[in-house]
Amino acid sequence: MRKFLNWLFNPEKAGQVSFLIVGFVIGMGAMSFYIGAMIDTGSLAEWFGAVGTIAAVAVSLYLASSKEKKYVDLHISSPSVIRITTDPTAVGIEFVIYNAGNKPFAWAKTTINNNSHTGLTFLTEDGENLSLIAPNEIVKFRKIMHVTFDGIWDYKSMKEDFRKGIYPTVTVDGPEKNGITADILRISSRNKW
């Protein structure tokens, strides 16, 4: 039944389906007029009503049996890189992420890249149990990595790149490669994390 309904409501087959339905209605209507004297087959209006009812039932069954497509729809807001002034080996990243889809997102890693694509990757705590962002869930990500800031993020060249409109990026990704990349529009300095 499902294969027939998929074929029936396939937009590519619309011409064939329309031809079959119109042919069926015209044929049955003509037959009702010719045989009407011997057998009461109903009027043309009744035939149109019957075909309409059958079509409505078929459409409702198809819609009830079809599954909703599952998808992930991620949005990152306010991403920023933090430079810890009291600890030259610390680089932090923070942002808010929102899943507007109807499928949970399996979060495997977060990567920040500078303009020359040299970056840092923050993996999930446990590779066996990936972090999940449920549909309509908002999560604040805030992590620090101990690496020389100036070795990855040359502050002077970064400011120059910002003036040219070249920004570092943050990428959130999962095993299905259905992640998101956003520009980091802010670099801030703090005394402590």
Question: What is the reported pLDDT for 113?
Answer: 84
- Across 62-76, 96-110, 143-157, 165-179, least confident range: 143-157
pLDDT at 137 over 90: yes
Question: What is the reported pLDDT for 77?
Answer: 93
- Residue 130 near residue 106 (C-beta atoms within 8 A): yes
pLDDT at 162 over 60: yes
pLDDT at 144 over 80: yes
7 or 96, higher pLDDT: 96
- Across 17-21, 137-141, 174-178, least confident range: 17-21
Mean of the per-residue pLDDT values of the chain: 77
152 or 79, higher pLDDT: 79
Tens-digit pLDDT profile for residues 12-69: 665 666 667 767 767 776 766 666 655 666 676 777 787 788 877 777 767 666 667 8
For the whole model, what pTM was predicted?
0.60
- What structural domains does the chain harbor? 2-65 (no CATH), 74-190 (2.60.40.10)
